Structure 1
């Protein structure tokens, strides 16, 4: 595994420059002995993708070097995007918060969160979809107001209309009633053609009430054609593929984030959406006798998310440099992250359809802590995001 050069280690230990009135150090430059490498056209042939939690922020607080690193890249016109497995609110709201916390001007074109790719799933825009996870109805509002889904239902809507669907949610009922809305159709198992039909299930963010959410997702995956309150007669049929499970036009299941752990304010990492996915998979195994569970996963480290992110990065590059930003090749992208399983594995395994190569830079300010062997080996391990940018700019200048 590569290690940072001694010159970069010295730079990382250099005294902090005077602070502004907002308590941010003044912008720094990686090293006076070299400049950011550019092509003959004046356009850098490399760019960055940054994770957020554990790299730029920790529990909403800026991490050392974050403001300086992003400011330096903007002044040098080196393209970058923010690529996070977080979510739960609109891109506009999240970017405004990040701009304020980091004291860096950012825009939505530079930002990809876990459920951003759902905005391109046009085949469900006029269907009825279940949106799971997040606080209150924030994810529902993202789906409707920002992504254009016309008919969105939440587990809160369902349990308020039919409290007996999960009797143990009584203690949360005041919470659900604060945002629940009427269902587009009732749940009437006696008349399946008139009962509420769900066409797709989207887990936008970490579920808050695992019992309710698991129950409703399980009901839908065992239903006949996604009609709540029904059971498919094909379930358990040994003559059918997968013993009949998920063979009766049940709604497809989409997860936005595979992360088992994420860096929160607690000293130890906390379970993320990946924890819910693993728990639900165990429930599915117990109920179906280990039938295969079909689902689609977005988020880092998966190819679909990295392809989406690179398209977003290239579009941002074009915005910076015009048509030349498309014609001049983007040779390399440095992925800076704190999670070996999402950031590092994703960059290492990503096969770019555009011909670029990605390098994984692992920092010690989040999920990964120094002194341990990461589960997926990065190109280099560095102290923090500031040192990562220093290392990458020097590396780009050498090759």
Structure 2
């Protein structure tokens, strides 16, 4: 399954939606020079105030920041929108940290107050996968064990990482032995041993969640491969159904193996280096190549069965639109559903034609809202080339995107 099916329940973001919540207010003193008595978004509740019928969704890397550095006119763009009470949310395929931590960092970098209700990252939907919260999940990717910590904050009670397995059984992947001391610093004891002679007491994985870009591709590929070829997700076993032509998928992933989730489909992303770098989508492509070599792939009617979340897939945009509608009601002082006319248009501002632009172009809003894609030249897209997916508009940077959009909407206040 190449994408999260549209019939799947769109997850609920476990975060604050109220501008009066303590988390939201706690951001105020962190913005330099801002007195604590200042209201967060300077809301004008006057009934005569003009109500914007448009909003924005911003990618982050390559649009607002480049690696860890804020782009020059990002603060100007967001501050203008807040001053005009024009709602926006952040929709990123990045991750690796809890939403509250990412919000705090981004708020400090951009010098703009941000609430967690405005922030959707690639693995945010994992927070609502309650069916796995009290089972054993394997979390893959990220720096050290930060993604494990995020999973635990989401409510997962038993989380294993490939580093835990390597530390307990160094022979599982001998090519990372030189990294053992690094893994020892953050690994934890396994909840059960790997003992194929006693499957009932051996370590069993119930779901594999790729939270963020893997750092040790070889180790992670090896362990995921072992899980997917196992019987019932029990490490150290090998399913007798593998390669059985009488079964669907030639018998692969037909013996109770756990589902495999990827949170981010991006092949490339914009980092500090002048050329785009491989992202989580690169790891997925590499894993699929190994899987094809092992199973015969399409020639044997075998695919790597997986669930991919993040942009450009429909459920991610539905999720973001719900956050945007709720945030719009909040900043406009209309807390009751139906008190505002529906949004006419959302401008999706991104740097990656394969995720931001494709997602904005193909998304079909259940509310009838038009999503207009704007491609900026500060990230993955290379000026002068023809993007694989054509946006509504190509501009220089995020400030140009905002300026063009408000002009299209004939918004009276000049940016």
1:349 corresponds in structure 2 to 362
| Cα separation, partners in 2 of 1:225 and 1:40, compared to 1, 3 Å | farther
Q: Give the counterpart of 2:52 among 44, 56, 75.
A: 44
Note closer, same or farther for the CA distance 1:226–1:163 as it changes in structure 2 (3 Å cut): same
Q: CA deviation at 1:325?
A: 6.1
Contact 1:112–1:309 (CA under 8 A) maintained in structure 2: yes
2: CA distance, partners of 1:370 / 1:315: 36
Quote the residue 2:138 is aligned against: 130
State the SS of the aligned residue for 2:138: strand
- Check conservation: 1:202, 1:254, Cα contact below 8 A: yes
Describe how 1:1-399 pairs up with structure 2 within 5 A: 42-145=50-153, 147-290=154-297, 291-320=302-331, 321-324=333-336, 326-328=338-340, 329-397=342-410
CA distance in 1, matches of 2:369, 2:305: 31
Indicate the larger mover: 227-236 or 40-49.
Answer: 40-49
Deviation of 1:319 after TM superposition, in Å, equals 2.1
How far is the alpha carbon of 1:41 from its aligned partner?
Answer: 7.6
Report SS of the residue matched to 1:327.
coil
Q: Hey, what's the Cα distance between the residues in 1 that align with 2:48 and 2:250? A: 61
Deviation, structure 1 residue 304:
1.6
C-alpha contact (below 8 Å) 1:314/1:326 kept by paired residues: no
Rounded Cα–Cα distance in structure 1 between residues aligned with 2:133 and 2:345: 35
- Residue 324 of structure 1 deviates from its aligned partner by 5.0
- Cα RMSD (Å): 1.8
Deviation sequence 1:35-82 (CA, Å, 0-9, x none): xxxx98843211100011100001211112100110011111111011
Q: After alignment, is 341-350 or 318-327 more displaced? A: 318-327
1:397 partner SS: coil
Structure 2 distance, partners of 1:243, 1:227, is: 20
Structure 2-normalised TM-score?
A: 0.85
Partner-residue secondary structure (3-state), 2:209: strand
CA distance in 2: counterparts of 1:344 and 1:231, whole angstroms: 42
Number of aligned residues:
363
1:244-263 CA-to-partner distances (Å, cap 9, x unmatched) read 01111100000011111100
> What SS is found at the alignment partner of 1:258?
coil
CA distance in 2, matches of 1:122, 1:313: 24
Change (3 A) 1:211 1:334: same
Question: Structure 1-normalised TM-score?
Answer: 0.88
Q: Distance in 2 between the 1:288 and 1:295 partners?
A: 15
Deviation at 1:396, TM superposition (A): 1.9
